[in-house]
Amino acid sequence: MTRIFLRLVLGGLTGKALGLVREVLLAALFGAGRVVAANRVSLTATLVPINFFTADALSAGFLPQYVRYRQERPAMALVLYRAVRTLLAAFSLLLVAGLLIGRHHWVGLLAPGLDPETARIAATMLGIAALSVPAYVQYNLYTLVGLAHDDVQLINIRPSVQSLGLIAATVAAYLTGHVSLLAWGFTVPYLLLLAWGAYWIRRRGYLRAPGPEEPGEPVNGERPANRDAYRIALGEFWRRLRPLLLVPVILQGAIAVERAVGSLLGVEVVAATEYARFVVDSCMALLAAPLGLAGLASFARMAPGDVAGGLRRLLPPVLFVTVPLSLILSLNSTGIVTLLYARGMFDERAVEVSATLLLGFALGIWAQVIGYTLVKVLNARGANVRVAWVNAVSFGAAAAVNLLLFRHWGPFTLGAAASVGGLLMFLLSARLLGVLGYSARLIAALLPGAVLAALAGYLLAGPGILRLLVSCVGILLVWVGYAAVVPGVRRTFLVGIWDRARQLTGAGRTP
């Protein structure tokens, strides 16, 4: 699992660097105004229905079953892929038609606070983004087929290609004045990715039909195309997916509530939310997503008795990295936003709103990373009823916080709600996996160091790049110093991380 995680992280660095260029360029050229708000709404309007139907169907339903079939009955793995591909293709075409026909109504429902002109621009962009749906869905399926073969190439190139497309579209929209070109920056990359994904999967032979002599051929001699085989594969797929049907309702509903609340708080909040989210999502993409995907593939293969041990090896390094990250982002939110975005059309109001949002998101990023990872472990172990319960509580709580408190807390509510949801996801999933007590002991051991590091970071923080750098370095020095001085913390965290790094690099191995 760790090797897959590291490959995913390293592969995502280029994409995140390009993503930073994309967001900085968008902020400088268009600020946090009408055009950016319309673009954010159009992308949300495209992705919410896609993920509503496919996110858990692919990650929690398809991947663990496909991995198991590959190990036990390779012919059935091909049957499952073909069946799911057919279902998703039909769904994609219906969704494209629905989005094109109802785009104005959908934008109005998703962002009721937009003024008529912003809503019109968003609906135009939605009509363009909707054309990417079939390519987006099929490419996601290709990435999971590759991951099942421990191949992360398709996952790694996606953020880079997507960011390059959005950068080109941002420049084109600014130079021509046709702001709808921003939406083509999402659609065109996925058409290109679809073509590359089909080529890559075919080249690697991942979907090659097994011969009759290979293990995994049904004992009754039926070929993979047999209708009974399709029925069996889809039946098991449905049994895995059925407990999760509530999850996309809650998850995508929470996202829709966040976008609607943002629109009621103002156009600049809609735009600024994604600027703040980019910072947090970059950390999630480099930590939580690789950990979750690697966990799906790795924990699905583990014997039941090995799961707890695997989690006990996983949690200390993740906590040790994410807690100071949360402190750095929350204590220096204004400095980080100023450094990244404060140029061109990105004015002081945009900085203020984005920094407030980032503070809320950053407070719970450590819990979000761990909670997301643990939920994927539950998925891998087939505990999908429990996953549905955890997601319903966590995302339902986030939506409730947004709806109940946005008039009192303003933009901070959107970030705080995400942190509350992440904390609940961590606590519930850790309890279900039997590592809540162990996690609590780890957190208790780190808490004094976190307080000391937070105090140092707060006292050193201030305006300017130098104060930002000093605050970040101060937090890290106090954090590592605390871990080095306290024997129990040093043994659990620093020594464990060092031993794990030596194993990965092959150091200390005897021939």
36-63 pLDDT, tens digit per residue, is 999 999 999 999 888 876 766 676 678 7
Q: Which two tokens stand for residue 347?
A: 């004015």
Query: What pLDDT, in 10s, does the model give residues 416-454?
Result: 999 999 999 999 999 998 899 999 999 999 999 999 999
Q: Which pLDDT value is given to residue 282?
A: 77
Torsions phi, psi for 193 (to 5 deg): -65, -35
Query: What is the DSSP secondary structure assignment for residue 222, as one 8-state letter?
Result: -
**pLDDT tens-digit series, residues 5-42:** 455 555 556 777 888 899 899 999 998 888 999 999 99
| Domain count within the chain | 1
**Which stretch of DSSP H or E encloses residue 133?**
helix 133-148
Residue 137 pLDDT = 92
At residue 400, does pLDDT exceed 90? yes
pLDDT tens per residue, range 240-293:
777 666 777 777 788 889 989 999 998 889 988 889 988 887 776 665 444 544
Is the model's pLDDT at 411 over the cut of 80? Answer: yes
- Tell me the chain's radius of gyration from C-alpha atoms: 23
Q: What is the pLDDT of residue 509?
A: 41
Q: Which residues contact 507 (CB under 8 A, 6 or more apart)?
A: none
Gap between the Cα atoms of 308 and 340, Å rounded: 40
Q: Binning pLDDT at 50, 70 and 90, where does residue 511 land?
A: very low
Asked if residues 34 and 117 have their Cβ atoms less than 8 Å apart, the reply is yes
213 pLDDT tier (thresholds 50, 70, 90): very low
Contact 53, 94 (CB under 8 A): no
| Residue % of the chain over a pLDDT of 70 | 84
Is 341 a domain residue? Answer: no
Whether the Cβ atoms of residue 376 and residue 435 lie closer than 8 Å to each other: no
Calculate the average pLDDT of the chain. Answer: 84
Q: Give the pLDDT confidence score for residue 190 in this predicted structure.
A: 95
pLDDT given at position 507: 43
Q: How confident is the model at residue 477 (pLDDT cuts 50, 70, 90)?
A: very high
Q: What local confidence, expressed as pLDDT, does residue 217 receive?
A: 44
Tens of pLDDT, residues 173-196:
999 999 999 999 999 999 999 999
Q: Per-residue pLDDT for 413 more than 80?
A: yes
| Average confidence (pLDDT) over 322-351 | 92
The tally of CA atoms less than 13 A away on the side-chain side of residue 134 is 11
Q: How far is CA 379 from the centre of its chain?
A: 15
The band of 102, judged by pLDDT with boundaries at 50, 70 and 90, is very high
- Answer yes or no: are the C-beta atoms of 288 and 426 closer than 8 Å: no
Stretch 295-300: mean pLDDT, rounded? 56
Task: DSSP for 363-390, please give it.
Answer: HTHHHHHHHHHHHHHHHHTT-HHHHHHH
Residue 127 identity (one-letter amino acid): G
Q: Tell me what pLDDT residue 277 has.
A: 87
Tokens 């073969």, residue located: 149
For the stretch 369-385, pLDDT in tens is: 889 888 888 877 777 78
Higher pLDDT, 9 or 312: 312
Cα–Cα distance for residue pair 175/171, rounded to 1 Å: 6
pLDDT more than 90, % of the chain: 46
151 has a pLDDT exceeding 50: yes
Residue 160 lies in a domain: yes
Residue 223: inside a domain? yes
- Domain coverage including residue 158: 30-244
Mean pLDDT computed over 453-476? 93
Amino acid residing at 248: P
- Whether 419 and 369 have beta carbons less than 8 Å apart is answered as no
- Phi, psi (rounded to 5 degrees) for 178: -90, 95
Question: Residue 503 above 70 pLDDT?
Answer: no
- Cα 163–chain centre separation: 16
CA–CA separation, 293 and 276 (whole Å): 24
Please list, in sequence order, all residues whose beta carbon lies within 8 angstroms of the beta carbon of residue 98, skipping any fewer than 6 positions away: 49
| 38 within a domain of the structure (yes/no) | yes
Structure token pair of residue 13: 């660095």
In a domain, 81, yes or no: yes
Give pLDDT, residue 475: 95
Phi, then psi, of 266 in degrees rounded to 5: 135, 155
- 61 falls within a domain: yes
- Please write the tens of the pLDDT for every residue from 118-137: 999 999 999 999 999 999 99
Amino acid at 200: W
Tell which wins on pLDDT, 491 or 403. 403
DSSP one-letter string for 282-348: HHIIIIIHHHHHHHHHHHTTS-GGGHHHHHHHHHHHHHHHHHHHHHHHHHTHHHHHHHHH-STT--H
Q: Is the dihedral of CA 216, 220, 225, 226 positive or negative?
A: negative
- How many Å apart are CA 92 and CA 100, to the nearest integer? 12
Choose among 119, 107, 1: nearest CA to 46: 107
Residue 153 covered by a domain: yes
Select the more confidently predicted residue: 83 or 11: 83
Question: Is 279 inside a domain boundary?
Answer: no
**Max CA-CA distance within the chain?**
73
